[in-house]
Amino acid sequence: MSYVPNTAAEQQAMLQAVGVETIEELLSPVPADVRLKRPLALPAALAEPDIKRVMGALAERNADLDHFPSFLGAGSYDHITPSVVPHLVKRSEFYTSYTPYQPEISQGMLQAIYEFQTMVCQLTGMDVANASLYDGSTAVVEAAMLAIGTGTGDILVSRALDPQYRATLRTYAWVRGFNLIEVDLENGATSVAALEAALTPQTKAVIIQHPNFFGALEDVRAVEQLAHKAGAIYVVAFTEPAALALLEAPGEFGADIVVGEGQCLGSPLGYGGPALGIFASRNEYLRRLPGRLVGKTVDDRGQTGYVLTLQTREQHIRRERATSNICTNQALLALAATVYLAALGKTGFRELGEQCLRRAHFAQEHICSVNGFTPLFSRPFFDEFAVTCPLPVEHLNAGLRARGIIGGYDLSRDYPELTNAALFCVTETRTRDDIDALVAALEEIVSDDA
């Protein structure tokens, strides 16, 4: 099954119209010495009912969050998705369209992206937002590269930025030739003293995450003062956009660029992708923004319409002098986020933030009532928190797995000094029963071990 509609007889008629006998003749420009002289070594074709059976069986071998209560966050967050979101995103006029280069027949996607850009500005307190980037990690990379520009310099990054984001930054720092300097931590947040000591005239940007990888709230104003005093761009990253429902918008505390991950705004976790890179900034960086931008304009009949704009920043016009090489982005996830945020709306989104906060604090209190579990840090947090455990996290998590529960993240994987430390995440999707079951299981595992 190739989804090729034309029959062999029709193809034969088409070949005749072209003036050749066989398809082979059309392939004559491909020299014999590079031709593949055997069939591709791939499994034989499957009919639709058969592929469904194969894929169904593969999917069954994964612990999906509908069947396994999970306390895993660490960069990817499980939130409810109202039914309207997938129904509208699956309108195939949206998902089977290309990048809206022909605005007259792409007003739907263009307007949705304009609404997305507006909502991102509303959440972040920034002046402008782009139409999306690949994911949170590459959005951070783009922020660093905007700050570096065509020159070089230092980028200071907090060690409380998601470890995968820092790893991605390291790759790009090497290839792009800028210095990436990690700023140490104190009580689970960026050390203000360490930051002050690391700032130099070569510092082009300071990047922190808020709430940070440990779920903790950063001392955002102290960092702002230091960054700006040194003349650096202040970049605030987020991996949990639900925090923006409750926390002061980064624009209010002086961020210049806000970047982050927006996947959980209406799109599935999908084992990590596709994700939704968000990029917003103050007006002064507008002409240096990476990626696509949608703007409002008028047509030749005087009607309002939307177009891709400021394209002279982009690769298809500027080629080697483009602000970024991005072409394909994550438009469909931006659409999902727009529908999602409108579905929750002003009061619903606020309530979402409140529920995450309350459930996470309830869970923290109960987990830390188990013998040997204590909060690792004393900083305020949103829906994720680090806990010192009486046993190695790997051991605890194996016990939880045996009970059908997905435990917290083992922090020693990225922070060798944090042994026996787990990062638990609790969103609005975790019920009291889930939390009680987790606490009971932890008690059992600890007492079994004793």
Partner 1 sequence: MSTEKLIFEKGAPGRRTATLPALDIPEKSVETLVPAEFLRSEPAPLPEVSEIELVRHFTHLSQRNFGVDTGFYPLGSCTMKYNPKVNEDMAALPGFARLHPLTDDSMAQGALQVLYELEGYLAEISGMRRVTLQPAAGAHGEITGLMIIKAYHEHRGEHERTIVLIPDGAHGTNPASASLAGYTTVELQSDARGGVDLHHLEQVLAAHEGKIAALMMTNPNTLGVFDENIVEIARRVHDAGGQLYYDGANANAIMGITRPGDMGFDVVHFNLHKTCSTPHGGGGPGAGPVGVAPHLLPFLPGPLPAKGDDGYFWEDAGPLSIGRVRANCGNFLVLVRAYTYIRVNGPDGLRHVSESAVLNANYVVRALQDAYDLPYDRTCMHEFVFSANRQKRHDVHALDIAKRLLDFGVHPPTIYFPLIVAEAMMIEPTETETKETLDEFIDIMRQIAREAQEQPELILEAPHVTVVGRLDQTLAARKPDLRWQPDPVATAT
Give residues 273-312 in contact with partner 1 (rule: CB under 8 A).
Answer: 273-275, 286, 292-301, 303-307, 309-312
Stretch that binds partner 1, among 65-73, 184-192, 368-376, 384-392 (CB under 8 A): 65-73
Site for partner 1 in 129-188 (CB under 8 A): 129, 131-132, 134-138, 145, 162, 164-165, 167-168, 170-171, 174-177
Q: Is 429 in the site for partner 1 (CB under 8 A)?
A: yes
Toward partner 1, which CB reaches closer, 199 or 338? 338
Toward partner 1, which CB reaches closer, 89 or 230? 89
Q: Is 391 in the site for partner 1 (CB under 8 A)?
A: no
Q: Which of 344, 389, 393, 396 binds partner 1 (CB under 8 A)?
A: 344
Size of the site for partner 1 (CB under 8 A): 205
d(CA 201, CA 189) in angstroms, rounded, equals: 24
Q: Is 119 in the site for partner 1 (CB under 8 A)?
A: yes
- Pair type for strands 384-388 and 374-375: antiparallel
Closest-CA residue to 225 (of 192, 197, 201, 183): 192
Stretch that binds partner 1, among 195-203, 352-360, 369-377, 441-449 (CB under 8 A): 352-360
274: preceding bond cis by omega (within 30 degrees): yes
**Rounded to the nearest whole angstrom, what is the least distance from the CB of residue 95 to partner 1 in the complex?**
5
Q: Is 87 in the site for partner 1 (CB under 8 A)?
A: yes
Q: Which of 151, 197, 231, 248 binds partner 1 (CB under 8 A)?
A: 248
Rg of the chain, C-alpha, whole Å: 25
d(CA 236, CA 254) in angstroms, rounded, equals: 10
Q: Is 375 in the site for partner 1 (CB under 8 A)?
A: no
Beta-carbon contacts of residue 10 (< 8 Å; ≥ 6 apart):
none
Handedness of CA 18, 22, 26, 28 (dihedral sign): negative
Can you read off the two tokens belonging to residue 129?
């937002």
Alpha carbon 250 to its chain's center: 18
- Asked if residues 125 and 247 have their Cβ atoms less than 8 Å apart, the reply is no
**Rounded to the nearest whole angstrom, what is the least distance from the CB of residue 151 to partner 1 in the complex?**
13
Q: Using CB atoms within 10 A of its CB, is residue 44 exposed (0-12), middle (13-18) or buried (19+)?
A: exposed
Q: Which of 222, 249, 437, 440 binds partner 1 (CB under 8 A)?
A: 249
Beta-carbon contacts of residue 125 (< 8 Å; ≥ 6 apart):
249, 250, 251, 252, 255, 258
Toward partner 1, which CB reaches closer, 113 or 370? 113
Toward partner 1, which CB reaches closer, 129 or 418? 129
Q: Is 230 in the site for partner 1 (CB under 8 A)?
A: no
d(CA 168, CA 379) in angstroms, rounded, equals: 27
Toward partner 1, which CB reaches closer, 37 or 450? 37
Toward partner 1, which CB reaches closer, 51 or 197? 51
Q: Is 362 in the site for partner 1 (CB under 8 A)?
A: yes
Closest-CA residue to 74 (of 205, 168, 213): 213
Toward partner 1, which CB reaches closer, 229 or 401? 401
CA angle 262, 267, 268 (to 5 degrees): 115
**Rounded to the nearest whole angstrom, what is the least distance from the CB of residue 153 to partner 1 in the complex?**
15
Q: Is 94 in the site for partner 1 (CB under 8 A)?
A: yes
Alpha carbon 441 to its chain's center: 31
Q: Is 229 in the site for partner 1 (CB under 8 A)?
A: no
**Rounded to the nearest whole angstrom, what is the least distance from the CB of residue 197 to partner 1 in the complex?**
25
